Amino acid sequence: MSLKVVDLGVARGGVPVLEGVNFAADPGEAVVLTGPNGVGKTTLLRTLAGLQPPYAGKIILPDAEAIAYAGHADGIKAVLSVRENLSFWARVYGHGDIQPALEGFGLIDLAERPAGNLSAGQKRRLGLARLAVTGRPIWVLDEPTVSLDKQSVAMFGAAVRRHLDGGGTAVIASHIDMGLPVRVIDMTPFRARASVSRQYDEAFL
Amino acid sequence: MIALFLRDIRLAVRAGGGFGLGLAFFLIVIVLVPFAVGPETALLARIAPGILWVGALLACLLSLDRIFALDREDGSLDLIATSPLPLEGVCAMKALSHWVTTGLPLVIAAPVLGLLMSLPSEGYLWLVVSLALGTPALSVIGTFGAALTVGIKRGGLLLSLLVLPLYVPTLIFGAEVARAGATGLAVETQLVLLAAVTCVTMALLPFASAAVLRMNLR
What is the interface pTM, i.e. ipTM, of the complex? Answer: 0.87
What is the number of other CB atoms lying within 10 angstroms of the CB of residue A36? 11
Q: φ, ψ for residue A154 (rounded to 5)?
A: -65, -40
- pLDDT value of position B32: 94
Could you tell me the residue ranges of all domains in chain B?
A: 19-217
Q: Give CA separation, A102 vs A30, A108, A119, in Å.
A: 23, 5, 16
Per-residue pLDDT reduced to its tens digit, A96-144: 788 888 988 889 899 899 998 998 888 988 998 999 898 889 999 998 8
Q: Is B89 on the interface with A (CB under 8 A)?
A: no
A76 at the B interface (CB within 8 A)?
A: yes
Domains plus CATH for chain A?
A: 3-204 (3.40.50.300)
Query: Is the pLDDT confidence value at A93 over 80?
Result: yes
Q: Which residues contact B56 (CB under 8 A, 6 or more apart)?
A: B26, B106, B110, B131, B135, B138
Q: Is the Cβ–Cβ distance between A78 and B78 less than 8 Å?
A: no
Phi/psi of residue A5, nearest 5 degrees: -120, 120
Closest partner CB to A88 (pick from B3, B75, B217): B3
Distance (Å) from the alpha carbon of A117 to chain B's nearest alpha carbon = 14
- CB distance A25 to A171 below 8 Å: yes
Q: What's residue A201's pLDDT?
A: 57
| Interface contact A205, partner B, CB < 8 A | no
Contacts of A134 in chain B (CB under 8 A): 83
Contact between B77 and B71 (Cβ < 8 Å): yes
What secondary structure does DSSP assign to B127-182, as a single string?
A: HHHHHHHHHHHHHHHHHHHHHHTTTSTTTHHHHHHHHHHHHHHHHHHHHHHHHHHH
How far lies A46's CA from each of A59, A75, A84, A169, B95, in Å? 12, 15, 26, 16, 27
Q: Which residues of chain B have pLDDT under 70?
A: 16-17
| Contact by Cβ (8 Å): A126, A109 | no
Task: Judge: A92–B10 Cβ closer than 8 Å, yes or no.
Answer: no
DSSP annotation string for B96-132: HHHIIIIIHHHHHHHHHHHHHTT--TTHHHHHHHHHH
Across A10-22, average pLDDT = 88
DSSP string, B60-98: HHHTTTHHHHHHHHTTHHHHHHTSSS-HHHHHHHHHHHH
* CA B199 to each of CA A36, B56, B163: distance values in angstroms, whole numbers, following the listed order: 52, 19, 18
> What is the rounded average pLDDT of the residues A29-49?
89
Nearest to A79 among B4, B11, B84 (CB): B11
Task: Give contacts of A70 with chain B, Cβ < 8 Å.
Answer: 79
Distance from CA of A48 to the nearest CA of B (A): 10
B54: which residues sit within 8 A by CB, 6+ positions away?
Answer: B29, B171, B175
| Predicted confidence (pLDDT) at residue A177 exceeds the cutoff of 90 | no
